[in-house]
């Protein structure tokens, strides 16, 4: 432990107490005599990621962050979107309660989120994670994206839903004024 003031490595601990964040130690530099505080943190158990080839590596938040940044570069996403995705993915991984997770799962968790947010970012990310081998696979993915979603259960337009949930309330489309209906011009017989 080197002194932040003079860089000397000889310090003595003059006080040590446990707190919720870890163990705080008050230290005194044996050369300049100034005091400083250090924190000792318990490292959470590392999560291992099993790669496609079977090799394992420690889960790396920065790596996930970097691949997301790349996929979302110059996309019109709200501030804080990437942070949110990373935290949600981490939470999702923790939820499995496993010490090892397949890399595929991480990719899937990210793609589920990107798909809803931004199709371009989604395709960019998927092309790396899924390792599209040829243009055909790539096309299949795009086609799947463009395919219409299964229709939601229809509510008759003259009937309001019984329970108005905030998320499901959709304001009716505004009528465009000043437009004539599209009817073919009548021709003289
Ligand atoms: Zn010092």
Q: Is residue 141 domain-shared with residue 108, that is, in the same domain?
A: yes
More confident residue, 186 or 38: 38
Listed residues 146, 165, 181: the one ending a domain: 146
CA 28 to ligand 1 centroid distance, Å: 8
Helical segments of the chain, H only: 61-71, 81-95, 103-117, 119-129, 135-146
Please give the distance, rounded to the nearest whole angstrom, from the Cα atom of residue 20 to the centre of ligand 1: 28
Confidence of residue 114 (pLDDT cuts 50, 70, 90): very high
* Alpha carbon distance 51, 39 (integer Å): 34
> How far is the centre of ligand 1, averaged over its atoms, from the C-alpha of 21 (Å)?
25
- Residue 113 tokens read as 């989120």
Q: What is the whole-number distance in angstroms between the Cα of residue 18 and the centre of ligand 1?
A: 24
**Domain ranges, residue 108:** 48-146
Indicate if the pLDDT at residue 133 is higher than 90: no
Number of domains into which the chain is organized: 2
Judgement on whether residues 90 and 16 belong to the same structural domain of the protein: no
Say yes or no: 53 and 142 in one domain: yes
State pTM to two decimals: 0.53
Same domain, 69 and 27: no
pLDDT over 50 at 168, yes or no: no
Ligand 1 centroid–CA 177 distance in Å is 76
pLDDT tens digits for 36-61?
Answer: 999 887 666 678 999 889 999 999 88
Within 8 A by CB and 6+ apart from 127, the residues are 138, 141
Question: Is residue 114 situated within a structural domain?
Answer: yes
Question: In angstroms, what is the span from residue 10 Cα to ligand 1's centroid?
Answer: 8
């Amino acid at each position: 432990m080197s002194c932040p003031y003079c860089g000397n490595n000889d310090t003595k601990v003059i006080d040590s107490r446990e707190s919720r964040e870890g163990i705080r130690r008050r230290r005194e530099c044996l050369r300049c005599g100034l005091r400083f505080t250090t924190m000792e943190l318990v490292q959470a158990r590392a999560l291992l990621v099993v790669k496609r080839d079977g090799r394992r590596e420690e889960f790396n938040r920065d790596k996930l962050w970097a691949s997301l940044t790349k996929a979302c570069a110059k996309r019109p996403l709200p501030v804080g979107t990437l942070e949110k995705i990373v935290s949600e993915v981490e939470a999702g991984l923790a939820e499995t309660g496993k010490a090892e997770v397949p890399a595929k799962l991480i990719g899937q968790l990210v793609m589920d989120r990107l798909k809803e947010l931004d199709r371009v970012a989604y395709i960019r990310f998927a092309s790396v994670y899924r390792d599209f081998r040829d243009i055909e696979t790539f096309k299949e993915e795009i086609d799947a994206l463009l395919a219409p979603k299964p229709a939601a259960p229809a509510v008759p337009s003259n009937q309001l839903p019984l329970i108005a949930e905030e998320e499901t309330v959709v304001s009716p489309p505004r009528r465009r004024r000043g437009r004539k209906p599209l009817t073919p011009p009548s021709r003289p017989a």
